[in-house]
Amino acid sequence: MRTEISILAGPRQWGDTRESWLSRVPRAVKDTLRTRVETVSFRTVKSLWYGEISDPEHHAARDVRKAAEIMQARKDALSLVGRYRSIIGGLNAKNPDFYREDIARLERVARMLCGGGGTE
């Protein structure tokens, strides 16, 4: 559970205490799961971090796990978009006419991964 909490809280800044760092998690869960209310409180996150809640099927543990999976998938998708754009740049530099179809396909996939659609 600590890994999931770390993903949601993000990197610790130089001025962060553990409590201020953990306090980012409820908002991250709410924003990631796109709910209107916070489903996980700071106290619950703190209990998960320190192992006071060990049940993997606890509602907060499920929400934290789900939000972390979504956030990690988004990060992975953005990383993949960066790779695709690098490949597109290389193909454009080599021979844009010859690789036109591959470039268009990669650009379409990159737009889809960014959430911009891709079917036109």
Global pTM value: 0.80
Domain that holds residue 105: 2-113
Query: Is 75 within a domain?
Result: yes
Residue 94 located in a structural domain = yes
Q: How far apart are CA 81 and CA 65, in angstroms?
A: 24
Tens digit of pLDDT for each residue in 62-90? Answer: 999 999 999 999 999 999 999 999 999 99
DSSP 8-state secondary structure symbol assigned to residue 36: S
User: Does 119 fall in a domain?
Assistant: no
On whether residue 93 sits in a domain, the answer given is: yes
Domain count, the chain: 1
User: Which residues are CB-contacts of 118 (< 8 A; sequence separation ≥ 6)?
Assistant: 108, 109, 111, 112
Q: For residue 48, give the H/E element and its range.
A: helix 42-49
Q: What pLDDT is attached to residue 115?
A: 77
Residues 120 and 114: their CA atoms lie apart, in Å, by 15
